Amino acid sequence: MTMINLTKIQKNVAGRALFTIDHLVATTGDKIGVVGRNGTGKSTLAHLITGVDTDYRGQLVTDAPVSYVPQLAPTLDQSGGQAMMSIIRQALSARPAILILDEPSSNLDEAHQQWLVAQLQGFHGLLMLISHDRHLLDAVTNQTWAFEDQRVQAYAGNYAHYREVRDQQRQTQEVAYQRQMRHQRDLLAAQQQRHEKAQRIRKGNRRMSAAERSKTKSLREATAAKMERTAKRMVARGAHEPQVAKPLTQRGFKLVATDFPSFTGKTVVTGLNVTLKQYGKTLLTHADFQVLPHERVAIVGPNGSGKTTLLQAILSRRVSGLTLAPAAKVGVFNQDMTMLDGEHSVWETVRRASQLPDQTIRNVMGALGLPARFYQQRVAALSGGELVKLQLVAILVGQYNVLMLDEPTNYLDVDALEALAAYLQDYPGTVLFVSHDQSFRDAVATRTLQLTDQQLLDFAQVAVAPKPAEADIAVLQFKYDQLMVDPAATTAEIQALKHQIDQLKA
């Protein structure tokens, strides 16, 4: 039986611990999802197992050859999806005993994603799947190795089960942390009460005579001192109790429309009888479409159908029938890392790109996985996923009113994906994006343009809401009544809920 055995592993980078592993074992039949934020060491672990990286402490044993498929980027004559499909087919055809796939579903269209799931479900060796694709992880894996707080922990089950366990752990930690905070406040309050009582004892009773004060002074001082020592020991014992770390929480951010250039005009992009060709291949014929201000338009289609080409054509302003409004100030994300100066720091790179307040920029960076510890790092020292995040942040906070994002979800961890979706939902400008992540598209898009068979199909994503049941209105009315008698409720909350009830009744 094939096996990977990792014992007391420590991997350092630039003098600090990247991750440690106490003991992990994987055998034939295990399908392991390797998850964690970008830059935590997922791909580095793959390099250790394959033997490419031998700079680590501890014992690592593999008893069979390892086939490794790294992250791939688009090439001159192939899309990223086409290149990935080609190398995955080669790897699977060799029937390896140990197979490691690094972000294999990035750039794959829906049909090829389904093919990949079926192939991996039928794989009989030992599989390690480094991925942010929730659907793929849930459909294939039976174990999860999670990179958290510079450690790699094993969890039974797929990604959904891991998230459930992790969320429960964080909830338990939050409860324990709040209990600890209350206990510490109680101890400090008790100490203060004893200190005040000791002070009153030292002063003595106001009805005491001078003789009585003099006679009892030593006793009163000893009693007060004993009381203060008891209070100090009580607080000291509390300080030596096992401490619960504060759970990490993500700070939100608020976008203000006036922070970005205003857009004047009725349309952002207009396409009339548009025909697109690339490398002699016709991708689109006689297409008509419009993109209106404030829309968030997803462009979808099979690999090689022309999604990226359409974005490039809109941006070029040189394709017959395609018009980009003069007022459009376009920020473009296309995973071209050569545009980043490797000698600048992360903070310099983002600060130069934006006129937003420092704190807003910090909040956006933190939400997407570039917290304060990255600020002074040189761009050249970042991992591939961190470079993607840096380029994305610089575009998101830039002085633009239109965003064109080509596969922004590739190589982002799940936390960053959710933060990006939330950002785009509140973005005051217009968004055109290409993504094969169905969950992300559902969360962000208000419309979908689908490229298929040289045609452009337009699907509105805003569905007509079903008429609410009377029970739903009754629930909201009950919440409204509760808010009316709640002294902590704000007028804005009450008005918002009343407006919601009125809309549902209408």
DSSP state at residue 420: H
Q: Are 314 and 269 in contact (CB under 8 A)?
A: yes
Structure confidence at residue 153 (pLDDT): 94
pTM: 0.66
- What stretches of 325-446 adopt beta strand conformation (E)? 330-333, 402-406, 430-434
As a whole number of angstroms, the distance between CA 337 and CA 277 comes to 26
Hey, what are 224's tokens?
A: 């007060």
Q: Exposure string (b/e) for 418-454, b if CB count within 10 Å is 16 or more?
A: bbbbbbbeebebbbbbbbbbebbbebbbebebbbeeb
Hey, what are 39's tokens?
A: 């830059």
Structure confidence at residue 23 (pLDDT): 96
As averages over each run of 10 residues, the pLDDT of the chain (506 residues) reads 91 91 96 91 94 95 93 63 84 94 87 91 95 92 94 94 88 84 85 86 83 85 88 80 69 66 92 90 92 95 89 92 94 80 92 90 89 91 84 93 91 84 91 90 93 86 43 64 66 73 71
As a whole number of angstroms, the distance between CA 335 and CA 408 comes to 8
Question: How many CA atoms, within 13 angstroms, populate the side-chain half-sphere of residue 305?
Answer: 22
Hey, what are 446's tokens?
A: 């208000």
Q: Are 38 and 21 in contact (CB under 8 A)?
A: no
As a whole number of angstroms, the distance between CA 5 and CA 30 comes to 13
Structure confidence at residue 211 (pLDDT): 84
Structure confidence at residue 466 (pLDDT): 40
